[in-house]
């Protein structure tokens, strides 16, 4: 990749090609529980923009540019009062739509009020997540039908985690399945993993082969390994525009999960992981060393980068334990996601892709770069909103996961059969019980 291409892919500010592409899609901005009615305004950094999120007295969430349109004072210091947020400098007040509803210091302000607007983005809330649309509000499509985001809040686990690197290297980590058998499971014996599910193949054969297919929501790929009896162990995963991944953590039948890699700015990413409680049950936690799913967070602060940071970070070498690395775990870093976190941050804030030496195991990474470059270029040239941004149903029913299937079947048809036969998400299972 050229440095220019790397720049296009990694920069997401308002006037960049990738920034414009991302602004065509809904973005998960916060957890609903982070905003209390009339509670303190929250600093929110998204796509390089400094925003303020708040919830008004009626429970409506609002996301505004943090600068008061009067003279740029930060609304972070504002008073979240009845029905809106009031700037403390001269008392101008704005509702969630950005309308100015009061001007304390201006006589006969009725007419002037009509002419002032805080810059407000379209906000929607569904099942515990506050979504924002950072394009032009009048073009906002319905929310995407990403499977776990459709499940009732009580049936899912939502986790936000900040990662101190560019969004794309985080996405690429998710679309690079061969590292699972090395970074995460490199010190695990095949006998420690179940063979009935095919899981033991993950470490028994660390060099899978790949098949790929572009789809109307993004891109799908699968890694396969041929078993002794001729059947194949499949791990299928998806990239959904513009920053979502569905990795094959669990068997496809239970793997109702998605992870969004949201650029806060070009060097900080907020990972939004949403999974059903049903998906969590089958995690390998407890059975082998170094794969726990729990890791300590630092207390949140009000800073632009203060939300959902991990205790383990570059300053403490991600709490690497060299003794553990020698004896029990491949990386010496505890926890699958912390391992991903550490190695991705170690690549630098924005990885210099002109220095890479790619191999066949990077085939999906290459496909995604091409897809994103093409889509950003097309948007730039035609100004036409991509189909996947305006058709939320394209995301419906997409699910990653692993399974064993007949050796000769067409792989994509076999995946569709698996998916169609899979039980509905946890919400529906609970209802049926
Ligand atoms: S700067 Fe906000 S009211 Fe004057
Ligand atoms: Fe990983």
Mind listing the pLDDT tens digit of every residue in the chain (433 residues)?
999 999 999 999 999 999 999 999 999 999 999 999 999 999 999 999 999 999 999 999 999 999 999 999 999 999 999 999 999 999 999 999 999 999 999 999 999 999 999 999 999 999 999 999 999 878 899 999 999 999 999 999 999 999 999 999 999 999 999 999 999 999 988 888 888 888 888 888 999 999 999 999 999 999 999 998 889 999 999 999 999 999 999 999 999 999 999 999 999 999 999 999 877 655 455 556 666 667 799 999 999 999 999 999 999 999 999 999 999 999 999 888 999 999 999 999 999 999 999 999 999 999 999 999 999 999 999 999 999 999 999 999 999 999 999 878 789 999 999 999 988 775 444 443 3
- What's the chain's Rg over C-alpha atoms? 23
**Ligand 1 in reach of 100 Cβ (< 6 A):** no
**Ligand 1 in reach of 68 Cβ (< 6 A):** yes
Q: Go through 264-285 and write b for each residue having 16 or more CB atoms within 10 A of its CB, e for each that does not.
A: bbbbbbbbbbbbbebbbebebe
Distance in angstroms (rounded) separating the CA atoms of residues 414 and 403: 10
Beta strands in 129-282 (DSSP E): 129-133, 156-163, 209-214, 218-226, 232-240, 244-246, 257-265, 268-276
Joined together, the tokens standing for residue 56 give 């008004």
Atom 4, ligand 1: residue with shortest CA distance: 90
**Ligand 1 in reach of 92 Cβ (< 6 A):** yes
The phi, psi pair for 167, rounded to 5°, reads: -60, -35
Beta strands in 253-373 (DSSP E): 257-265, 268-276
**Ligand 1 in reach of 210 Cβ (< 6 A):** no
Pocket test for ligand 1, best of 87, 98, 102, 116 (most atoms within 8 A of CB): 87
State the CB neighbour count (10 A cutoff) for residue 293. 18
CB 308 within 8 A of CB 160: yes
Distance in angstroms (rounded) separating the CA atoms of residues 247 and 257: 8
Domains for the chain: give ranges and CATH numbers.
27-142 (2.102.10.10), 148-432 (no CATH)
Alpha-carbon distances, residue 8 vs 11, 15, 40, 176, 372 (angstroms): 6, 11, 36, 21, 9
Atom 3, ligand 1: residue with shortest CA distance: 90
Q: Which residue has the tokens 């304390």?
A: 104
Instruction: Report which DSSP code applies to 142.
Output: P
**pTM, two decimal places:** 0.95
């Amino acid at each position: 990749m050229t440095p220019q291409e790397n720049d296009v892919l990694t920069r997401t500010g308002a006037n960049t090609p990738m920034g414009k592409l991302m602004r065509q899609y809904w973005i998960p901005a916060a957890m609903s529980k982070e905003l209390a009615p009339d509670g303190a305004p929250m600093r929110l950094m998204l796509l390089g923009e400094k925003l303020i999120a708040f919830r008004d007295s009626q429970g409506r969430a609002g996301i505004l540019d943090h600068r008061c349109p009067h003279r740029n004072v930060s609304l972070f210091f504002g008073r979240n009062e009845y029905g809106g947020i009031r700037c403390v400098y001269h008392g101008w007040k704005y509702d969630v739509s950005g309308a100015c509803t009061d001007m304390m210091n201006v006589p006969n302000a009725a007419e002037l009020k009509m002419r002032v607007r805080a810059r407000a983005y379209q906000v929607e809330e569904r099942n515990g997540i506050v979504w924002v649309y950072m394009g032009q509000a009048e073009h906002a499509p319905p929310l995407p039908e990403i499977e776990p985001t459709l499940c009732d809040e009580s049936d899912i686990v939502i986790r936000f985690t900040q990662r101190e690197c560019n969004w794309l290297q985080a996405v690429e980590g998710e679309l690079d399945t061969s590292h699972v058998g090395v970074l995460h499971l490199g010190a695990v014996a095949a006998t420690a993993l179940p063979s009935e599910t095919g899981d033991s193949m993950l470490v028994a054969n660390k060099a899978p082969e790949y098949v790929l297919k572009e789809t109307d929501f993004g891109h799908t790929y699968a890694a396969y390994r041929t078993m002794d009896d001729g059947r194949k162990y499949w791990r299928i995963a998806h990239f959904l525009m513009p920053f979502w991944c569905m990795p094959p953590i669990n068997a496809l039948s239970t793997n109702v999960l998605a992870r969004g890699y949201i650029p806060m700015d070009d060097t900080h990413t907020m990972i939004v992981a949403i999974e059903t409680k049903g998906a969590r049950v089958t995690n390998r936690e407890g059975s082998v060393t170094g794969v726990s799913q729990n890791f300590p967070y630092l207390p949140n602060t009000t800073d632009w980068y203060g939300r959902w940071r991990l205790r383990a970070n570059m300053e403490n070498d991600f709490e690497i334990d060299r003794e553990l690395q020698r004896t029990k775990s491949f990386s010496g870093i505890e926890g699958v996601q912390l391992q991903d976190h550490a190695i991705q941050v170690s690549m630098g804030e924005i990885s210099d892709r002109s220095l890479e030496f790619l191999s066949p195991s990077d085939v999906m990474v290459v496909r995604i770069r091409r897809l994103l470059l093409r889509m950003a270029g097309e948007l730039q040239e035609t100004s036409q909103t991509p189909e996947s941004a305006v058709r939320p149903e394209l995301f419906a029913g997409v699910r990653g996961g692993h399974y064993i299937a007949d050796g000769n079947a067409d792989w994509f048809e076999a995946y569709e059969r698996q998916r169609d036969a899979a039980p509905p998400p946890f919400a529906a299972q609970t209802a049926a019980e």
